[in-house]
Amino acid sequence: MESTFVMIKPDGVRRGLIGPIITRFEQKGFTLIAMQFMHLERSLAEQHYGEHKNKPFFNELVEYLTSGPVCAMVWEGRHAVANARSIIGKTNPVEASPGTIRGDYGMDITGNIVHGSDSPESAQHEISLFFHSAMSAPMFMEISDFGHTAN
């Protein structure tokens, strides 16, 4: 069983897409194990996208990510990282297939609605950053708390 970090970005929250996006993850077969609605400090946004700090779009990206609340989540399931990337779709909504979240809801490469970790290692790093750092400390639930076993 694997966990992945997913974040509905400010445009997704603003457009009322929290419900539809959570529904897609539930319908795919994921189990939600942590969720936090939060407004990111600039430092957390910069850390989260640290790998892109030398890219020309970095400042725009951080401005965007701190422009409103986000919904940070941890989803668990088989091959969670790859399955999440698959239902999220390609980075640029222009290239994302219809049926994916970005393909169905997005039009802009910066405002592409949702984030999903790109490897199990980055998932663990991002989960630590958002759910175990001094900046935020929500409660984690165990899979067994739901009274069933995830697929």
Q: Provide DSSP, 64-104.
A: HHTSS-EEEEEEEETTHHHHHHHHH--SSTTTSPBTBHHHH
Q: State the binding partner of 114 from Mg ion, ligand GDP, none, CB within 5 to 8 A by kind.
A: none
Per CB under 5 A, 47 contacts Mg ion: no
* Residue from 39, 115, 125, 148 carrying the catalytic annotation: 115
Q: Which one of 20, 111, 118, 120 is in contact with Mg ion (CB under 5 A)?
A: 118
Instruction: Identify the CA nearest to 74 among candidates 19, 149, 22.
Output: 22
Per CB under 5 A, 49 contacts Mg ion: no
Q: State the binding partner of 59 from Mg ion, ligand GDP, none, CB within 5 to 8 A by kind.
A: none
Contacts of 95 (CB under 8 A, 6+ apart): none
Establish whether 115 is a catalytic residue: yes
Which of the stretches 7-15, 76-84, 111-119, 135-143 binds Mg ion when contact is defined by CB under 5 A? Answer: 111-119
- Which residues are bridge partners to 35 per DSSP? 73
Q: State the binding partner of 76 from ligand GDP, Mg ion, none, CB within 5 to 8 A by kind.
A: none
Determine which helix (DSSP H) or strand (DSSP E) holds 2, and give its type and residue range: strand 2-8
Name the percent of the chain in helix, strand, coil, to the closest 5. Answer: 40, 20, 40
Catalytically active residues, by annotation: 115
Task: Using CB under 5 A, list all residues that contact Mg ion.
Answer: 118
Task: Using CB under 6 A, list all residues that contact ligand GDP.
Answer: 52, 57, 60-61, 91, 109-110, 112, 115, 118
